[in-house]
Amino acid sequence: MALTNSYLQGVYETVQKRNPNEPEFQQAVYEVLESLQPVVEARPELEKNGIMERIVEPERMFMFRVPWVDDQGKVQVNRGFRVQFNSAIGPYKGGLRLHPSVNASVIKFLGFEQCFKNSLTTLPMGGGKGGSDFDPKGKSDAEIMRFCQSFMTELCKHIGQFTDVPAGDIGVGGREIGFLFGQYKRLRNEYTGVLTGKGLSYGGSLARTEATGYGLCYYMKEMLAYKGTSFEGKTVAISGSGNVAIYACQKATQLGAKVVTMSDSNGFIYDPNGINLDVVKDIKEVKRGRIKEYAERVPGSVYTEGQRPWGTKCDIALPCATQNELNEENAKALIANGCKFVAEGANMPSTPEAVAAFQAAGVFFGPAKAANAGGVATSGLEMSQNSLRLSWTFEEVDQRLHDIMVNIFHTCITAAEKYGHKDNLVMGANIGGFEKIADAMLAQGVC
């Protein structure tokens, strides 16, 4: 589908003019505007009230210097970001990414997508995102701590439990959240749920670590059930070997599938017997090593340097690494190899051409905003527990996560059907996420 609505075309042209050299942000906006054409045509009040012009413009964005001292005593300087994109339905909420590729475009695309994702969860969370071009790879724990303390020294001026609640993303896990939380508490002298993904000893939620990967599989389980099938006996290709990939692999395996691939930015492993997750966890969570070590430790597995896993024969693909990691050629290879179901664990991992190829071939495609919303949903549940001064059991959180993911799937199906695009989960996720935000913005006047 092309962007043919003249109002939305104008909105997109303004985005291009205002945000030159920001390809990821423009890509994310284009996809949403494309999906919203039937909504804007059915609801003239959206144009009259400038909802689209406002929703593509962040409420606020910070960029700041992050100076820190490395283990050799040398001063290093990174750049920090936080975008507070939309607060119509709740305090800004979204992760922090530490990766050398982080820039304004990446943070804005992530913050924009976060708004719709958070809305789909039905929990009261607006959209935000942040991070830095700091590369955690190869850094000592002490260097990570000094960086996190410096980053939070600036960030703490802009966040708070009722304002903006960051969490993890690429390069930010339990260790980094601990250092960030400690520094926030020290500077602000308050003990609040200002971050999620916290450790269990200081206010974290059971099942937050597992939530994005588990939630992805609960969403896929619903996609499969809708088409009359299940994970049982299916072969799954997963990319990435970080938080999302590891727990997607765990849950898909528990649900009866065989996961045969995982990857990192250097290459991928193929294990025809099914990935041994204990080995992956030891390499990635304990030793912070490279995925190629898996092939050195597990007989029968193969490591391929410099490639992604999309040439592998599979029924289901779950891209769980990073944006634009699956292009049209990869999509065609998956289709040719019999893949029938794709759900995105990473944010925007499939290029627009790849999504079009999947949809044209009848592959049932679950977009990131919906499929990976389990992480932020469970962050929302962590915020609820912090407010209640209570901790729920693993089973209770997991059951709520499951029910939220099932509900998101049906929201997508219903929204797509309402606007004449049956079974198009991309349209459904964008429309379903958008309408609640738009209604809140309409109710709150021009702000």
d(CA 240, CA 444): 41
Position 209 contacts ligand AKG (CB under 6 A): no
Query: Using CB under 6 A, which of 22, 222, 325, 435 touches ligand NDP?
Result: 325
With contacts defined by CB under 6 A, name the span among 22-30, 218-226, 263-271, 371-379 that binds ligand AKG.
Answer: 371-379
Contact of residue 243 among ligand AKG, ligand NDP, none (CB under 5-8 Å per partner type): ligand NDP
With contacts defined by CB under 6 A, name the span among 88-96, 130-138, 144-152, 389-397 that binds ligand AKG.
Answer: 88-96
Query: Using CB under 6 A, which of 49, 265, 337, 384 touches ligand NDP?
Result: 265
Position 146 contacts ligand AKG (CB under 6 A): no
d(CA 12, CA 1): 15
Position 237 contacts ligand NDP (CB under 6 A): no
Q: Tokens 């997750």 — which residue?
A: 277
Position 212 contacts ligand NDP (CB under 6 A): yes
Give the residue ranges of the annotated binding site. 93, 114, 117, 168, 212, 243, 379
Size of the site for ligand AKG (CB under 6 A): 12
Burial 36-45 (b: 16+ CB within 10 A, else e): bbbbbeebee
Query: How many CB atoms within 10 Å of residue 439?
Result: 14
Query: How many CB atoms within 10 Å of residue 109?
Result: 23
Give the residue ranges of the annotated binding site for NAD(+). 212, 243
Position 372 contacts ligand NDP (CB under 6 A): yes
Q: Which CB, 317 or 321, lies closer to ligand NDP? A: 321
- Bridge partner residues of 67 (DSSP): 77
Query: Using CB under 6 A, which of 94, 128, 204, 375 touches ligand NDP?
Result: 375
Query: Minimal CA–CA distance to 194: which of 205, 183, 181, 175?
Result: 181
Position 376 contacts ligand AKG (CB under 6 A): yes
- Bridge partner residues of 88 (DSSP): none
Q: Which CB, 51 or 195, lies closer to ligand AKG? A: 195
129 catalytic? Reply is yes
Query: Minimal CA–CA distance to 54: which of 103, 90, 88?
Result: 88
Query: Using CB under 6 A, which of 379, 385, 411, 430 touches ligand AKG?
Result: 379
Position 347 contacts ligand AKG (CB under 6 A): yes
Instruction: Report residue 259 as tokens.
Output: 């996961």
Shortest approach of ligand NDP to residue 310 CB, angstroms?
12
d(CA 178, CA 158): 19
Q: Is 270 exposed, middle or buried (0-12, 13-18, 19+ CB in 10 A)?
A: buried
Position 215 contacts ligand AKG (CB under 6 A): no
Position 319 contacts ligand NDP (CB under 6 A): no
Contact of residue 93 among ligand NDP, ligand AKG, none (CB under 5-8 Å per partner type): ligand AKG
Type of residue at 224: L
Chain residues binding ligand NDP by CB under 6 A are: 168-171, 212, 240-245, 264-266, 320-322, 325, 345-347, 372, 375
Chain residues binding ligand AKG by CB under 6 A are: 93-95, 114, 117, 167, 169, 196, 347, 375-376, 379
Task: List the catalytic residues.
Answer: 129
